[in-house]
A and B are shown apart, each in its own frame.
Chain A
Amino acid sequence: MNGIHDMGGMHGMGPIEVREDERPFHADWEARAWGLIRAIGPFGSTRRRNFRYEHEILPPAQYLQMQYYERFIKVLVDRLLEAKVLTQAELNSGRADPASPRVTPRVTPANIAEQLARRRSLRRDDVRIRSKFKVGQRVRARNINPIGHTRLPRYMRGHLGTIVSDHGVFDFQDTDAQGYTLPDRPQHVYTVSFTARELWGDAANPRDTMHAELWEEYLENT
C-alpha cells in the first residue's frame, strides 16, 4: 500500500537525532514490550496476517508519532483482541477475566534461547524455477500500486535498474488488502541497482547508487 511507512525519498521529517548512549532499550517499558512480544509465542488462529502490514495500516499521523516498540505492542494487542484471547474489558481493568481460560506458556526460560536463535528463512531451496533475469541485465521496476503489503518501494517504481545478484527462490510476501499473504508464489529475488540520477534526477550525484532486493514479479524487461 502507498502508506506513510514507504517513506524513502520524502522530505520534511526533521533532523536525525543520534543519542550518544545508544542502548537496546531506553526505558524499562521498551524492554518489557520487546520481551513480551518475543515471549508470548503462538496464539489464536494460524491464519496470521502479515505483521508488517498491520503496522502499515496505522493512520499516518499515529504511525509517525508512535515509537517502534509502541507500534509493536499496538499490533500485538489488536491481534490478541481479534483472536479473542484478550478482551477490551480486561485491558480497561488491567486484570484477567476470572472466567477466562488459564493456559501454560508455550515459550519458557528453558526454550527461549532456542526460539531466539531459530532461523526463519523464506528461501525455498526445494523449489526449482528458472530465473527470468540474468546478472548484468537491465530491468524496469514495474509501476504497480497494490493496496496490500508490498516490498517494492514507491521511489523505485517505473525506474530502470541493473540486476546485481540473484539470491535464489523465496516465498512472495505481498498480501491482499486484508493483509493475508497471496497464495503460494515462490520466485527469484534479485538485488537491483539504480543510479541516483535515474531515481532522483540530474541534481543527484552521478556516481551514487541505490540497491534493493526485489521479487521477480516486481520487474519487467526494458
Chain B
Amino acid sequence: MLRQYLRRTLFMSNAADKPVGRRGFLRRAAAGAAGIVATPQITSANPANQAAQDPGHQTIPSDVALRVKALESILVEKGMVDPATIDAVIETYESKIGPRNGARVIARAWVDPAYRKRLLADGTAAIAELGYGGSQGEHMVVVENTPTVHNLVVCTLCSCYPWPVLGLPPTWYKSAPYRSRVVIDPRGVLREFGVALGDDVQVRVWDSTAEIRYLVLPERPLGTEGMNEEQLANLVTRNAMVGVAKVSRTRGASA
C-alpha cells in the first residue's frame, strides 16, 4: 500500500510548476510543515502512513515556496544574506554555468585531435584550457563513446554532477527512478531515452561515488565533416554528455 501510494503521488511532485495530485499536496503540506519544525528523527512516525489517512477533499497550495520566502526574509533581516547575492547566484547558474560549456569542450575534442588526447588523459586540465572549472569539477574524468563502448553517468548515492561543464543537474538525473535503475538495467534506461544499443556494444556505467565527476565524450555524428567548431557545439546536448542520448547531425542543442 505504501508503495502504491508513493507511486501515485511522489513522482508527480518532481515538477514544481506542474499540478500535483490533491493527496500529493496534502502530503507535501503535512510533511513539509513538519519538516521545518522537527529535526529528522530516524525513529519518527512514518509520514506516509499519516498522510494516507488524510481524506484529501480539498486542494492546499504547496507551502514550500512560502517557507523559502520566509526563510530568505528572516536571514536578510538578520544580515546573514544579501538578496543581491542570491540574484547573482541564480544569474550565474541560469546563464553562465550550463551545458553550453560542456558542448564547447566536446566540439573542441572533435575538431582537434591533440586536444581530444589531452582531454582523455587529464580531463580537469583540458577543460580548464577552455576556462571551465571550480566547484564540482575539481577532478574531471572524460570517458569516450565508440562504436563498441557506450558510457553512462549516474550518482546513485545522491546527485553528484559536473557543474562547471553541465550546470545544475536536470530533474530526471536527481530522481529515484534514474538513480535506482541505471546500474541494474542500463540498457532499459537507455531504451527509455530512445537509445537502442546492439549486443556488440559494451555499456559502462560510472557511479560518481567519490570526488571524480564524469563527462561523456559522445561520438561525432556522420555527415558533420563540413561543420565548424561552433556548429558542432550546437549539436551537443546535455543528455549526450551524461550518456543517455547520442548526438544527432540534425538536432539542435535544446537540452
Q: Which A residues form the contact surface with B (CB < 8 A)?
A: 5-20, 22-36, 38-40, 43, 52, 54-55, 57-59, 61-62, 64-68, 70, 73-74, 76-78, 81-82, 85-86, 88, 90-91, 94-96, 100-105, 107-109, 112-113, 116-123, 151-153, 155, 167, 170, 173, 189, 191, 193, 196, 199-200, 205, 207-215
Contact = CB atoms under 8 A, between A and B. Distances in A.
A113 to B, nearest CB: 7
Given A29-B68, A64-B6, A189-B211, 11 more contacts: A17-B177, A20-B254, A35-B90, A54-B40, A59-B40, A65-B13, A109-B88, A112-B85, A121-B211, A208-B202, A215-B210
Nearest to B167: A24
A7 B170 CA distance: 18
Interface in B133-186: 133-135, 138-139, 141, 154, 156-159, 167-168, 170-172, 174-181, 183-184, 186
Contact of A200 (B13, B86, B159, B184): B184
11 contacts: A13-B175, A24-B93, A62-B40, A73-B64, A94-B70, A105-B81, A109-B84, A199-B184, A212-B206, A212-B209, A213-B211
Contacts, number: 328
A19 B14 CA distance: 10
B178 to A, nearest CB: 5
B87 interface: yes
A61 B6 contact: yes
Contacts of A34: 89-90, 93, 168
A167 B213 CA distance: 12
B135 A39 contact: no
A9 B184 contact: yes
Given A32-B69, A58-B40, A66-B31, A7 B205 contact: no
A209 to B, nearest CB: 5
A105 B85 contact: yes
B238 interface: yes
B210 to A, nearest CB: 4
B241 to A, nearest CB: 13
A7 B183 CA distance: 10
A24 B41 CA distance: 31
Contacts of B210: 151, 167, 170, 173, 189, 212-215
A35 to B, nearest CB: 3
B156 A39 contact: no
B85 A39 contact: yes
B212 A167 contact: yes
A88 B37 contact: yes
B72 interface: yes
Contacts of A102: 78-79
Interface in B29-71: 31-32, 35-37, 39-42, 44, 46-48, 64-65, 67-71
B180 A8 contact: yes
B209 A152 contact: yes
